[in-house]
Each structure stands twice: as structure tokens, then as C-alpha cells.
Structure 1
Amino acid sequence: PKRAHGLAYHRPLLLNSRQGRKALLDWFDGVSTARNMPWRKAWINQATVADGDDAHNRRQQLERRAYEVWISEIMLQQTRVAAVIDYWNRWMERWPTIQDLAKAEPDEVLSAWRGLGYYSRATRIHEAAKIVCGDADMRGLLPSSVDELVAKVPGVGRYTAGAISAIVFGRAAPMVDGNVLRVLSRQLGLFGDVKADKAVIDVLWAAADHLVKAIARDIPGDDEDKIPNIEEEEEQPSDRPGRWGQALMELGSTVCIPKPNCAACPVTSSCRAYSEGHQLAIKKGLAPKPTTPQDAATDIEDACTLCKPFEEFADDDEDTQNSNTVEVSKQQKSKSRTQTTLQSFYFTQTSSTTTTTTTKSKRTAKSEPGGLSPAAFDAIANHARKFPLKVAKKAVREQETLVCAIRRSSDGRYLIHRRPEKGLLAGLWELPSYILTEPQSSTAKTRKRDAEQYVKDLVDAKGLGGVKYVSDLGSVPWLFSHLKLTMHVHVFELDDRKGGGGGVESGEDGEGARSRWRDVKAIDDESMGTGMRKCWALVK
């Protein structure tokens, strides 16, 4: 389809449908416990707290609740829920309060994070805990506002801040992760790059902000046809913003997945991508023709400048899963798009010129398609899966490293180094390693030669004694999000019985030492990246 439409087409239909918003909340309430997430708990209503001991106890409850949500949200970034559950439970058992975490040793925190990846997050969490506990205003309680959270707590961006503010404190703050960006792209029918196109991202965040403010004003017992004025009314804290944000995330992670299950979605009536897919199903004779009039043609002056041309970037072949993967360059972005403002989308329309759009939105949001065949749902899902625009991933950089395990003859201990405090795997321990400068021309013979030279230079510089090459244990491939790493593992024996063999740097195992000798059991307990741990498994 050519998808001719104006900017107002992207106004969320859910803004005009309290019934639709309630449908999503009701759906979430029915499935929220299905995946047994231990951090999902009942909202704590601060308004019920009186002065005195009760207020002190409630503050402690809030401290712990905010801490629990914070840790869960950081762990859930780039990691599956099923894997996070065990990590979160172990973490809370070890450090049940933010004060306990603030007192922990850095190596303990890194060790507990082992396997979750992105180890700098663990370091930032630990530093943030110390800041929150030491701050005269926070005193262990994370701030309730998004702006304060972002400004005062290291490692907390607007998504995590929104989650803490909404789930813990009941504030109308948007929670927009990758799953929610996909859901909103389909709800708004916005065919753009949700990862890199700032204009598209801003519109989706603005839509999320208006939706959570609308749900915050959906007070039970009010007129269901009332459209809240989010500019004039002030929302009161409640459990609705947190439930709403989690509902969108749950929908995106279980139903509105890359290849969606539209038949199970509770908000198809407000979904532009679903509606477009439904029209395609009708064209193919897979669904009955509609009895309601169709939208009028779009005035070219009001044409959307955000969406990419659908016929150019999205192939209609149902069997081509990656058909709409494109390379989007800066040159392809038109100048008119960059001048678009959020006001263009009329999130808060009140003028008579928007009456027609609002009326259509209310009608569309309330009409429930039913009785569709599996073939019709397949056609709809095939269309919806093309949202958002899929952009070709950048080629992953490749790197090869020599990993050299140096064993000390006198006691069987191995030398380990701590990585720099910034950069990849910051602050973690590893076996001495050397990055190959010309990996494309390396062979087993040249790698052995380079490993021998690297270890010789290392031990000679400190007068540690003679070193002997033992064996080549093979290679360990490891993939990061931006790097394909191949680690070639070699073992060496250091003869220290005639003296030497102590610490490579100032003092053996001294406080703050960057290198130390450790036995097998001690290295097993060290904070070490998963890829390096596989190398260590070969050495053992």
C-alpha cells in the first residue's frame, strides 16, 4: 500500500478511547503474574501514611521498593526475563537494601553481575548506590521525579527514570523501551527508524507521555466517554501509570513481538498497522468488506514527512522476513522532516479544524473486528511486522587476541591482570592478553611466536625468571554487540624456584594492584567476563 496520510494520522487513537485503555490494563492485570517476576509487587500508596513510626516504616518500604525496581530495570536491559529472575533473586538475597549494596566491595558486585554482560552497568549501580545513600537529601531513597533521577543517579536514563517514577511513586511518567517503541510504532502507524531517527523517537516518546497522562486521569467511576484535557488537569499519583507502562512492555515482549500475534492483542481496535493489514486482508478476499466509510484522501500539503515510503522500503512478499531491511543514510532524510515539530501531531487538539479527525479516531477505536479467519490474521500480522522500519545493522568489527596463561612452578598459581576502569569489560580480571595487530595474516605458528614474545617481554621487564612455552589450547570465539572476538589460548610455565616470580607490578596482591597471582579456586571466584571465563575453563 502507498499509505498516503497526513501527520494527524499518527495521533494515538487510544487517547480518545478510555475503553481501549481499560482493555489494555485489564489484559495486563490478567497476565502480570504469568511469568513470575518477583519485582512486580503491589503499589505503595504514600497518601495513606501518617506521621510517626508508620511514616518511618513506609519510607523504608519505599526505599526498598525503588531499589528493587531500579535493579530489575537495569538487569532487564539486553537480557531475557527468564535469565534475570535468578540473578535478581540472588542479588536481593545478598544485598536486600540499597544501604547494603553501598557497603559492598567493587569485586563482589562485579562477580554477582557475571553473565549479565555490560559490566560497566554493575559499576555504575554500585557508585550510584553510594551516592544515593550519602546524599543529604536522598538518604537512601531514590528521587520520585524523572528529572531528578536522571540528574542525580549515575547510569539512570529517561526510560529507567520513568519506570521508577511510575511504578514506585505512581507518577505519570512514560516508560519507553525497545518493546514499547515497536508497540507505539504500530499503534500510530509510524513507519520510521525508532532506533536512530530523532524525529521519530521524539514523536513516540511524546505519544507515550500523553497516553500515560491520560491513563492517570482515568479515575474509576468517571464518565467513560470523557476525553481528558492533559494540559489543564493535574494527575494524582496512583498505580495506573505503573501498570500502564508495564502493560505496554508486557504487550511488546509477549504479543506485539517482531512477528506479532495480532489475534491475541487486546488493543487491535486502536492499532493503525492492524487496520492497514485488515484492509489488505479485505483486498485479498480473506476478510469481509467493512460497513463503515473509509478515510478520505490526504491533502498533499498535509502529507506525513516522518514515514519512509512504504512501497520503497517494505516488500509485500509474506515469505521475506527481512524484506524491509534498508540502509538509511543522512542524505535520505528530507529537509522538511527535520523542521517538523511535535505540535504537528495534535496530541492535544481542541480546535474545530480537528473535529473530523477526532470523530474518526473515536469511531475506529471502538469498532472491534471479529470473526476473522487464521489466514486473515496471518495477512494482518505480516503487514504489522513491517513496523517499525528495519534498518540494516552495521558490520560487527572483528578482533583476535592472544590469551596467555602463565603458571608459577612453585605453587601452581596463575597471573591475572585487571582491565582498565573504562571501556570494554571495565575493571574485570583476565589472563594476560595481547591484541593481534594483523589478525588476517596470522597462523598457528605466528600466533605461537607472538605469544612467546609477549610473555617474554612481560616477565623480563620485571626480572621474574625463565618462562617455558607449554601448549596451544585452541581458540574461543565470543560475540559482543559490536565486536566479534576470537581468543587464542596459550599456556606458559614460569620457573620461579631460583628467585623472582612475585608481583608483576608494585607488590604482590597489594591493595589496588593491577596484577596478582591466584590459585585455581580464587580465580574461579574472581570477577571475569564470560568469554575470558571460557578461556580459563580450557586452562583448568
Structure 2
Amino acid sequence: MGPLRAAAARGLRRGGGGGRGAAPAAREGTKGSAARGGRPAPPAALHLFGDPAEVEALRGSLLAWYDECKRDLPWRVLAVTEPDVNRRAYAVWVSEIMLQQTQVATVIDYYNRWMQKWPTLQALAEASLEEVNELWAGLGYYSRGKRLQEAARKVVSELAGQMPRTAEDLQKLLPGVGRYTAGAIASISYGQATGVVDGNVIRVLCRLRCIGADSSSPPVIDRLWAMANALVDRSRPGDFNQALMELGATVCTPKAPLCGECPVKQHCRARLRVEKELALASRKLLGKLPVVPDVEDCSVGGCPLCPPAAEPWDSSLGVTNFPRKAAKKQPRVEQTATCVLERRGRRGALEYLIVQRPSSGLLAGLWEFPSVPLAPGLQQEQQREVLVDHLQAWAGQPVAAGSLRFIGEVVHVFSHIHQTYVVYSLSLDGDVTLDLASSPSRWVTEEEFRASAVSTAMKKVLRACERQRGEESGPATGSKRKRGAKPGAAGSTRPGTQLSLRTFLRAPNPP
């Protein structure tokens, strides 16, 4: 067949996978056409579940599929085997926090380690933030672990160790628990008939009912919550919510949905539209119909759930026309100068100096190599001077910029920041004591470094240093990176040479 059939068929066949996503933050929605009187038109029947018989059929098909095909996940086992309601709710709570913006495959090991170390709310409440950060290191979005522990302490100290029993109270009383997390805990742990809306649910519902307006806008999010609450099975709310999310994670995936394997495909109006287009294209090729595109299935002008006029249905995308989101903001670009300070410890092992970040803000409370933000547009020598000024807080006396040894640049992309670390290293003599009073700090071995609460970005920085050290110890010696001082300048040395702290602290010779 022609390109239309081929493209649509690809959209129905290809498969993919993914983890659970948190519901997008509500943003100002796109403005649609208004009906008379200045009010938006109500959504058409195309976008709603108006037939009770269809709702019952959808519930039955989805739950039957879930019972047969659900993944075996540790938190699901605890949710059905743990008799203590507080432990059960805690186990679900931990999983839901970890699963926000993180793939299931990544979460499993973290979850098992967490529950082994802190099997109850009381155990977590007694832990230190340092311990929490150490276990969370590498999972990303570090404030999640901090808020989880804060909420656990509140349950123990203010609620007598009893978890709130409804979605409304969970959201109201526990810091860091939003509408989605509260609904998930209440439905899975307590059997409360309340829906949930996360990234997977948004995708499934938007495709089932051809919702093409910005899925992150407050009006659309409100509609999706109303739809989820209406659909949830009253006898098995927790299983139904997990089934809806499982469907989005394993079948109704973002880019390559397995429509042929979908247990609710007969209820999917996005798929029905694709089938209509295939039929129309087939009849056109047979000469039975003139070319009359079937563009609009919604007859309500200014429908708040239809795609904006500027973004019509794209036949090549098939069901992946839905959902639609506002254009994603580009992450801001930042640069940070970082210095890996090394020394030989008492037993000859290589040690690194790490310092603790502030207790609030990005990567709060985590440990890192001494680092300082760089203003935009600085030249290489200016960047070195900024780092030298920062290091003087540790050394307590003037530092020569030429003492720093350039390693390279390490890029790490956070959700909203494109961060480039300009990395230097310096080897110190062990017989000199640095002034470490300006911030919590400690010397650690490589093994201790990896066990500490350090970010993935800092692990990348250390790997860059180790990689260069390995290259220089091989047959081809000498550094390929020549961002250091010019030959003959104060504090300069041969490429690849490690400097002592005495050299590091030596003030530049006067001109």
C-alpha cells in the first residue's frame, strides 16, 4: 500500500518499553476557540466515557490482562503479602517516590536495598540524612529521599506511627506526597476507590479518547483526573490503577506502541481513527471513493480537548499523535570549575578530598570535589583564577594558578541544567594540613568515595581523572591536554607531572 498505510501500520506494530513517569507539572494551557458567551465549549462525546457498559467491559479486559501479564516487582509482592497496614503503605510509598521520573529497571535494586536497611517507618525515621543520601546516590532527584525521610519522621513523631488512611489525608499531612502518590498509596494499600494520573496514565487516556490538547495544561489534567476517578474499578482499585500504569509502561508506550497486543484496543478511539484512514486509503486506491480526508471526528467547535488548529492530526504518527505537550523548555547552560585534590594516606592508598554541599538547593547535602560556579564567557586563565581563589579557602594562603593540572571537561545533564564541569587535579603532600573549617569535608579512599553520598556527576569527574592517569602511565606518556600554564610561567611544570602542596602554595614570582 501507499505511504499512509505503511506509516500507520508501523505505528500499530512496533513495540517499546519504559518506566513510570510522574504526572507533569501543571502549566498554563493553550487557549482554544471560545463558544458564544466567552466560555469554552464542553468536550464532545468522542473524548468521554459515557457508556456504563463500555466502562465495565474496559475494566474487565484490563484487569484480566494485568492478572496474566503483570511484571513481578518487589513492591507489588509486599503490597499483597504484608499484613501490617502501616508497613504495607510504607512499602508502596517508598516505591512510588522512587519511581517518579525513574525507570522501573533502575529502581528495583535501590528499592530492595532500601527495604532491607529500613523495613519500617520507624527505622527510616531513626536514620541520618547522610545514610539516606548514600543509599539514594545515583538514583537522581535527591530531594525525594530527603522528603521521604522527613515525612517518615513526622508520621512517627506526630501521628504515633500511623499512616494516614485516605488519599486526602496522605496529601494533606505528609510532606512530598502529592495527589498522584496519595492516590496510589490509598488505592493499593487501603483499597480506596480513587484514581491516579501519572505520565503513563496520561498517555493511555489521551489515546483512548483522542485528547490532543496540551496534556500538561491544568484544564486537561483536571479532565484526566475526573476520567481516572470515574474509570477506577470499585472492587479492585489498586490493581486497576497499577494495570493502567502497566499498560502505559509496557504496551501503550510513547514512541512504538504495541497496539495489536493491547487488551483495550477495542475502546481506543485513536486506533479507530488510524483504521478509518487505512480503510479510506484502501478504497481510494481501488477507485471507489474520491479523496475526502476524514479529518475531524469531534463536532464541537472550540473543544478544549481537541488538538489546536495549528497542530492538526499527522497521519504518519498514527496513535502517537496523542498525547501532546507544550514545547519543553531547554535546560539552562552552566559551567563549574572542579578540582580533584589527591594525597597519599597513611597506608599509601590514594585519597581524595570531598566537601559537603549546602543543605538546600540542587544536590542538597551531597558530597563533591571542591567546586565553584563559573560566570559565562570567562577565558581559560580566568576560569583557573576563579578556582584558585576558591581553593585558597582550603589552603589558607596564596595559590598559583599554574599549579592546577587540567584534566578535561565532563558534561552532565540534570532535568533543567546542562552542566559542564571543567576538571583540574592537584596532588598534595600528606605532611601539610589544610584549613578545612569553611565547610564539612573529609579525605576518602576510592572505595569510600563510591560508597559516599556523591552524585553521578562527581563519579564521572573521578572517572575522567582515572582515565587520564591510565593514559599517562601507558606507553604513550605525556598529556594531550595543554590547558596549563605556558612554559616558563610561575608554577609551571612538565605536562603530566604531579605537584606537591609546597609548589601549589608557592606564590607566583613577581614580574
If the length of structure 1 is used for normalisation, what is the TM-score?
0.70
Q: Per the alignment, do residues 472 and 15 of structure 1 end up closer, same or farther by CA in structure 2, a change over 3 Å counting? A: farther
Q: Distance in 2 between matches of 1:441 and 1:43?
A: 54
Q: Distance in 2 between matches of 1:192 and 1:467?
A: 55
Q: What residue is the counterpart of 1:8 in the other structure?
A: 45
Q: Establish whether residue 503 from structure 1 lines up as the match of residue 503 from structure 2.
A: no
2:177 to 156, 173, 184: 156
Query: SS state of the match for residue 338, structure 2?
Result: strand
Residue deviations 1:464-483, cap 9 Å, x none? 99998252121211011111
Matches within 5 A, 1:146-295: 146-195=167-216, 197-212=217-232, 215-216=233-234, 238=235, 240-259=236-255, 260-285=257-282
Per the alignment, in what secondary structure is the counterpart of residue 39 of structure 1? helix
Identity %, equivalent residues = 40
AA of the residue aligned to 1:253: A
Pair 1:37-2:73 in alignment: yes
- Which whole-Å deviations, capped at 9, do the CAs of 1:502-522 have from their partners, x for residues lacking one? 4233xxxxxxx6333444443
1:62 Cα deviation from its structure 2 partner: 1.4
Q: Deviations over 1:359-410 (max 9, x none)?
A: xxxxxxxxxxxxxxxxxxxxxxx42110111432212211111101233577
2:311 to 310, 313, 316: 313
Q: What 5-or-longer segments of structure 1 have no aligned partner?
A: 46-56, 217-237, 319-381, 506-512
Q: 1:258 aligns to what SS in structure 2?
A: coil
How far did 1:245 drift?
0.2
> SS of the counterpart of 2:163?
coil
Partner Cα distance (2:326, 2:251) in 1: 22
Change (3 A) 1:297 1:69: closer
**2:43, 2:305 within 8 Å by CA — same for their partners in 1?**
no
User: Structure 1 residue aligned with 2:416, among 457, 465, 482?
Assistant: 482
- Is 1:113 aligned with 2:136? yes
User: 1: distance between equivalents of 2:150 and 2:266?
Assistant: 46
Residue number in structure 2 paired with 1:364 = none
Q: Per the alignment, do residues 517 and 467 of structure 1 end up closer, same or farther by CA in structure 2, a change over 3 Å counting? A: farther
Report if the CA contact (8 A) 1:459-1:465 is conserved.
no
The whole-number CA distance in structure 2 between the counterparts of 1:316 and 1:496 is: 66
Structure 2 CA distance for partners of 1:497 and 1:41, relative to 1, 3 Å: closer
Instruction: Give the aligned partner of residue 364 of structure 2.
Output: 426
Q: Does 1:455 align with 2:478?
A: no
- When structure 1 is superposed on structure 2, of 467-476 and 482-491 the one drifting more is 467-476
**Cα RMSD (Å) of the superposition?**
3.1
Inter-CA distance 316–308: structure 2 relative to 1 (3 Å threshold):
closer
Q: C-alpha distance in 2, partners of 1:186/1:490? A: 50
Which runs of 5 or more structure 2 residues have no equivalent in the other structure?
A: 5-40, 289-293, 467-511
Residue number among 63, 66, 71 corresponding to 1:25 in the alignment: 63
Structure 2 CA distance for partners of 1:111 and 1:6, relative to 1, 3 Å: closer
Return the alpha-carbon distance in structure 2 between the equivalents of residues 490 and 7 of structure 1.
Answer: 61
- Per-residue deviation at 1:99? 1.4
Please give the alpha-carbon distance, in whole angstroms, between the structure 2 residues aligned to 1:501 and 1:44.
Answer: 55
Quick one: distance in 1 between partners of 2:214 and 2:325?
Answer: 7
Map of 1:416 onto structure 2: 354
Using the size of structure 2 for normalisation, the TM-score is 0.74
Deviation at 1:415, TM superposition (A): 3.0
Helix, strand or coil at the partner of 1:284: helix
Deviation digits for residues 196-229 of structure 1 (CA, Å, limit 9, x no counterpart): x1111100111101111xx20xxxxxxxxxxxxx
Q: Name the SS for the 1:40 alignment partner.
A: helix
Q: Which amino acid aligns with 2:279?
A: I
Equivalent pairs counted in the alignment come to: 414
Q: Secondary structure at the match of 2:74?
A: coil
Q: Aligned partners of 2:460, 2:339: CA distance in 1, in Å? A: 13
1:328-350 CA distances to partner (integer Å, 9 max, x unpaired)?
xxxxxxxxxxxxxxxxxxxxxxx
Q: Deviations over 1:147-202 (max 9, x none)?
A: 1101111111110110100001001111111010111111122111112x111110
Q: Match for 2:93: what amino acid?
A: W
CA contact (8 A) 1:191 1:388 kept: yes
